[in-house]
Chain A
Amino acid sequence: MSDTAGGNAPKPSSSVKLVLLGEAAVGKSSLVLRFVNNDFQENKEPTIGAAFLTQKCTLPTRTIKFEIWDTAGQERFASLAPMYYRNAQAALVVYDVTKPSSLTKAKHWVAELQRQASPGIVIALVGNKLDLTNDGGESAGGSRSPPLEHGSGEDEDGEEEEANDVGGGELPDSGDARKVSTREASSYAEEEGLLFFETSAKLGTNVVDVFTAIANAIPESSLKTGRGTAGAGQTSLGNRSAEDARVNLGERNAATAKEGCAC
């Protein structure tokens, strides 16, 4: 509502709290780094608790400022996660396309979010490390590194075959590290009503698209306006309206959220 009121401003700006969840070393931080700085580091410092970053995302009608909480992936940090996804309007649940167990973990996160996070949270399921697969790897110009930490010690329980017949009819290629088929993940995402992407933080494939899609999926009414940009001038009154908006969001989307709940 304030979006329309501020019509004289070039573009209404609003901030969205987004949280990244997923197994350790699936590339959550790298996705964020790619999105925020368009950069990639092989040795990214592990996230202690959570890292906080912001980045603007410009849509035709408005600007969204993402407040990104990038959480630690190590299993034992899971119990800290509720602290970070509290009040989040969007979540990126990341898995590694070369590691089936990471999709299982991602499903757990989705279930957790659907039950415990604010109702109406927009969830995107993201399969990262597309560069290690054939469909993403070729564009890397042959410079992609071998799947060091992902290739070994995986349970080879028939996932491979499935992966092969999905990769767009490609021949079974020994260089393809993909273990989670696009179809498997996308049909799960569809069932649960999630946005779905496969990305490569290393190559930048689809990264911005994920955030743009999330920005588009956030209902306009639920956006807190100008929280980040207005800065110190904001009064607690404005804050209250933001909270009200959040409540509205909850009511509006409660039905969709419930429908997607697995258990």
Chain B
Amino acid sequence: MISLSSFVQKASSLIDSANFNLPSLSSNDDNPSKASLFRQQFRLPDSQNPLQEITAELILPLPSNTSSDSADGSRRVDRPGNRYTGRLHLSERFICFSTQPTSFLPSSTLSASTSWTGQTHGTGPSGNGFTLPLSSIRRVERLHSAREVFSLALTTWNGMLNKTQEPNFAPQRLILQLVGSRQACERFCDCLKKGLREGMKEVDNLRSIVSDCYSEYLLSGTKAKDATDGQGRQPPDAGLGMLFRYPGDARKLRDRSKMRLWGEYFRENGRNATLVRQPTFHKLIRVGLPNRLRGEIWELTSGSMFLRIRSPKLYAETLAKFDGQESLAIDEIEKDLNRSLPEYPGFQSEEGIGRLRRVLTAYSWTNAEVGYCQAMNIVVAALLIYMSEAQAFFLLSVLCDRLLPGYYSTTMYGTLLDQKVFESLVEKTMPVLWEHLTKSDVQLSVVSLPWFLSLYINSMPLVFAFRVLDVFFLEGPKVLFQVGLAILRINGEELLDIQDDGSFISILKSYFSRLDESAHPRSENPKLRAITRFQELMVVAFKEFSGITHSTVTEQREKHKNAVLNNIESFAKRTSIRNLGPESKRLSVDDLGTIYDRFYEILYHWEQQQKLADEERQRNEKKKSQRQSILGPPVDRQVGRVGLGPSPTHMNYDAFRDFMAATSKWAASDSPAPLKNDPSTSGSWRGNAKASLWANRRQAADHEFMQRLYRKWATDPDEGLSLQDVVTGLARLKGAPDIMNNINYFFGLYDDSGNGQVDREGILKMSEALLFLSRRGFEGTITATPSQDEINNPRGNNDEAEQSRLTTDERFLGSVSAFIRRCFEYADPSHPDHQRAGFSKKTEEVTEKLDAFAIGDDDEEEEEEEEDLIDISDDKESKTAPVEKTSPQPTESISPNRPRSESANPALDPNNPLHITLPTFRMVVLADELLEQFFESYFPQSFHLSDHPHPASVAASSSLSSNLTTFSKIGRPSASVTAGVSVAGASGGIVPPGKGLRGVLDNIVTDGIRMAAEVKKRMDDAQRDLERNALGHRDEDDDEDDEDDYPSRQGASAAVMAGGISSWGAGAYGPDPERRSVRDADRDLLEGAEADVISIRPTKDEGSSEDSHGARPPTVQDTEVVSKVVEFES
């Protein structure tokens, strides 16, 4: 007996069980996991996993009074009893047996009355065999047989959980012969033993469910049981039909004799939880279930009974738990209650409507992702005619989760997918009809969609729809396809004549209305004449289309899944992009598409992670997991696509970091492998490249800046970021590529109190953020700009590109350092003594921090920079340095030369000296060329979206960069309006970001008029001062305006560089006179720039020669400031 094949089997069982023990990690594959196939096969709850599997033979003792089964028994009567070979499976709570499809000969002895049952007989997913909860097994014995056979005898609780014993009762006993090595058999038995011990705990649950089964009631009565038995116990709830009559004529449906047959079957093969499926079972279902047993058999064949056994009180508990609460789903349910099967009297009554309301509501609470979908009301209403509320509740969840996956989801992808599958099956099986439909431009699914969505319930007369449902619950979704195909096949000829949707629909409507008529009214043969159209339909469905199996459907679903999901997703995408509101219009459609894809990509990635983590946790606490997923979305539900339905809509901070890492280089973490040189990754990172997406994704960095960005973008940081939040956030940054906007934005990130001030801590954080943002280089955005630096800098544009990039990076460090110092300078201390100490201490700290960021060799760098310095600055430095000893802050508040900053900073609080305001911040940024470029181009451009940005943003950005690169250019007579406006806006400082160009202009005018005189005076001063200082090339200004400004600007910025870098080297603040002087020069340059800017518009009539002096005031200021400082100190 134990031959090679059994070795193979043994091996495969070993391999299988090993696989089965693995968690469903593969669940995100397109193929369903083995575990889910197993559950599908035996209709088990999602908590079940295949643990053991072995080939076995089921031996059912022949019933003492063999009457009905004799026909089937004739197949294999070489040994007493019916024997079935198949696989025996063991899960945590179930023992299941099913004949392999090949091991069971399709019954060829079809009597006339059952001829239409067709060949699918026995090959439904359930097959022949059993699915027994371990709790229903009372005893297992090992049989000692003579041969080397491993036999088990199972005795079940069948019929013994009832208080009243039936007469002639014999316990149900099944014999199983395991085929396999002794070891495999032992292992199986061990596992079974363990399961049985666990199962004992559920016997009470089982008892409570079973005692409510109509089958128990049916069998508990004596043979003489009447339909009108009033004595004894009340019949269990078998649906609204008991109160309002069942649809159809019971006599015509031969309900009584069906009931008798079922009674017989139950007695021989067990009932409810302990039922064994034999061929008769399938036949009895095909002829239509008797009314009062219909609900129970549906529950059994669909497997929803097992869910109910697991948690018998869930329905009542759910209703109690959410009692009185409201939801969108409830509103929607309420709208439809009065219009669900209104033709059935039960749903014209409060009783029926109440039941419907409770079942739909309870389900919407347990599965909030599905909630409520129209058509569920019709399906549930139909179920409630035959089942209790609790039964309908569990059956609905099996429908939504397993039998009709995705049908009622928020995207209804399952419905659309099955329509595609149906169309392709029609094309395959009825090519002529298909061609005609295509040619006539009739879309099949407009007709067939309601069939599937409401399970034919509102297409066919109820009695027939229920017959379809009988088979559907046993054999699964393929039945819907078979029936649909049969409908088309039967009406094929007429359908070939149709020209439009209208005639298509009317043909089928009239067909459905005549289902009870004879299919062959003119036939001579009375037997043939007796066959109704519905019977004909069933024969065609299950005989002609017997080739449509569960695997056909699964296969086709797989094939079309992507196309359908893509359709839905592109619909969802274009809808949601279109609905993003006016802000989003600042980004191009491609950009929005990229954001959308990336957003959901990351959300789903996180969802997957979450799921895996949950599974991990479940595995760790296995005991608990048993209770999980009794209802609700299946554990191995596929996630990861918008089209699949209820999507998470908000990303948390961690997901946001991932999003940013995919968007911006700087947001990627440095730790594992800094992908420094692939800006292409982010650029090419589109929705289509999904597979590669996580393969080469970057680790997300975490930085305070990102937290700030997150909080800024989020409408509600606790809830997370919605797509709208992200789009709005990005649109504000990228959509208006205006340097002022970017500076304002950045400042806003640090304006924690919202009062337009950033304190000392904030300044330091800003500078850290600047370094954080720049630590990956500038991707060419800064050096690419034809800045004055580079024109003058021989290294800037030469072939050693890498060298120059490094230089830019390092120079940027200098800029940041200068930034800090300037910020502190311009913040006004009213208690300078205190301030002084705190300030230098702070600066030391920062300097240390900055040191950590330094890339190159500071000293060397400094020297190099110095070489680039232009002599003026050097001169200035040496001149001013000795005098400069204290903090220059006081000058700002006192100096009459700074009415600008004062007028612009009315909120500047002298008691909080280390606050800088937005205008100050702007000044500081604009003072430095690199910072300016940083905010102008790098910062917005570092957010990589699509390759096709909004045309406006490109145009504006380029125009700005040409006009705004340096201040010197503003001085040109040809300065464009744009440049003037933006810069003036900056100096105005009162313009709220949202106010736009109009506001900017208004401010310029008011400010300008007020300032014109002052500026003029300063200009004159500057002129005079300049002459006094007698710096050689300043004299050229009269004849060469444009050129004049370049060197001065250049010199200043270079000086800033040098100052910044040397300050790191020195560490301490005080003793470096040179640096101090540079700083002052810078500040004064700022002021000069400011004055310059203001002069543009209001002083137009003063002529360009005035403007050209813009860079001059520094010198004037310088001396003045110095004198003030000295006074102050003394």
Contact = CB atoms under 8 A, between A and B. Distances in A.
A87 B501 CA distance: 12
A89 to B, nearest CB: 13
A263 B338 contact: no
A232 interface: yes
A54 interface: yes
Interface string B358-387: 000000000000000111011000000000
Contact of A69 (B440, B446, B579): B446
A196 interface: no
A83 B412 contact: no
B332 A24 contact: yes
Given A15-B500, A74-B374, A79-B571, A46 B578 contact: no
Interface in A162-214: none
Interface in B142-177: none
A3 to B, nearest CB: 18
B151 to A, nearest CB: 53
B458 A48 contact: yes
A45 B454 contact: no
A49 B449 contact: yes
Contact of B410 (A15, A76, A82): A76
Nearest to B328: A75
B1025 to A, nearest CB: 56
Interface in B744-774: none
Contact of A76 (B373, B449, B579): B373
Contact of A108 (B441, B443, B578): B578
Contact of A52 (B334, B445, B505): B505
A4 interface: no
B332 A84 contact: no
B336 A52 contact: no
Contacts of B439: 236, 239
A48 B378 CA distance: 10
A10 interface: no
B251 interface: no
B405 to A, nearest CB: 15
B502 A228 contact: yes
B671 to A, nearest CB: 42
Interface string B423-448: 00000000000000001110101100
Contact of A239 (B334, B374, B440): B440
Nearest to A45: B339
A111 B578 contact: yes
A24 B373 CA distance: 12
A43 B342 contact: yes
A243 B585 contact: no
Nearest to A25: B335
B579 A108 contact: yes
B572 interface: yes
Given A48-B458, A67-B500, A80 B412 contact: yes
A234 interface: yes
Contacts, number: 113
B991 to A, nearest CB: 27
Contact of B339 (A43, A112, A115): A43
B409 A48 contact: no
B412 A149 contact: no
Contact of A45 (B342, B567, B578): B342
A49 B715 CA distance: 36
Given A43-B342, A76-B409, A79-B416, A48 B502 contact: no
Interface in B555-591: 567-568, 571-572, 574-575, 578-579, 585
B499 interface: yes
B497 interface: yes
Nearest to B448: A49
A50 interface: yes
Contacts of B410: 75-76
Contacts of B339: 43-46
B374 A46 contact: yes
A112 B334 CA distance: 29
A227 B499 contact: yes
A83 B499 contact: no
Contacts of A47: 374
Nearest to A84: B446
B571 A82 contact: yes
A125 interface: no
A243 B416 contact: no
Contact of B575 (A45, A112, A243): A112
B767 to A, nearest CB: 41
A244 B991 CA distance: 58
A78 interface: yes
B500 A48 contact: no
Contacts of A82: 567, 571
Interface residues of B, number: 49
A130 B730 CA distance: 42
B409 A263 contact: no
A154 B568 CA distance: 30
Contacts of B340: 45
Contacts of B567: 79, 82
Nearest to A238: B499
Interface string A238-263: 01000100000000000000000011
Contacts of B378: 48
B291 interface: no
Contacts of A146: none
A44 B336 CA distance: 9
Interface string B498-536: 011111010000000000000000000000000000000
Interface in B465-507: 497, 499-503, 505
B899 interface: no
Nearest to B645: A76
A48 B375 contact: yes
Contacts of A80: 412, 415-416, 449
Contacts of A49: 446, 449-450, 453
A231 interface: yes
A77 B412 contact: yes
A108 to B, nearest CB: 6
A41 to B, nearest CB: 9
Contact of B453 (A48, A83, A231): A48
B574 A232 contact: no
B575 A67 contact: no
Contact of B336 (A46, A69, A108, A231): A46
A228 B413 CA distance: 33
B965 interface: no
A87 to B, nearest CB: 7
A79 B412 contact: yes
Contacts of B334: 149
Given A79-B411, A83-B443, A83-B446, A46 B335 contact: yes
A98 to B, nearest CB: 15
Contacts of A227: 499-500
Contacts of A78: 571, 575
A263 B585 contact: yes
B503 A231 contact: yes
B568 A79 contact: yes
B360 to A, nearest CB: 13
Given A48-B453, A77-B412, A80-B416, A115 B574 contact: yes
11 contacts: A17-B501, A43-B338, A43-B339, A46-B339, A48-B450, A48-B453, A49-B449, A69-B446, A79-B412, A149-B331, A243-B441
Given A54-B502, A112-B575, 20 more contacts: A43-B339, A45-B339, A45-B458, A46-B335, A46-B374, A48-B450, A49-B446, A49-B450, A52-B446, A76-B411, A77-B412, A78-B575, A83-B449, A84-B446, A86-B443, A108-B579, A112-B574, A112-B578, A228-B502, A239-B439
| Pairs A-B, 8 closest by C-beta atoms | A49-B449, A43-B338, A45-B339, A46-B374, A232-B497, A76-B410, A48-B450, A49-B450
Interface of B: 331-332, 334-336, 338-340, 342, 373-375, 377-378, 408-413, 415-416, 439-441, 443, 445-446, 449-450, 453-454, 458, 497, 499-503, 505, 567-568, 571-572, 574-575, 578-579, 585
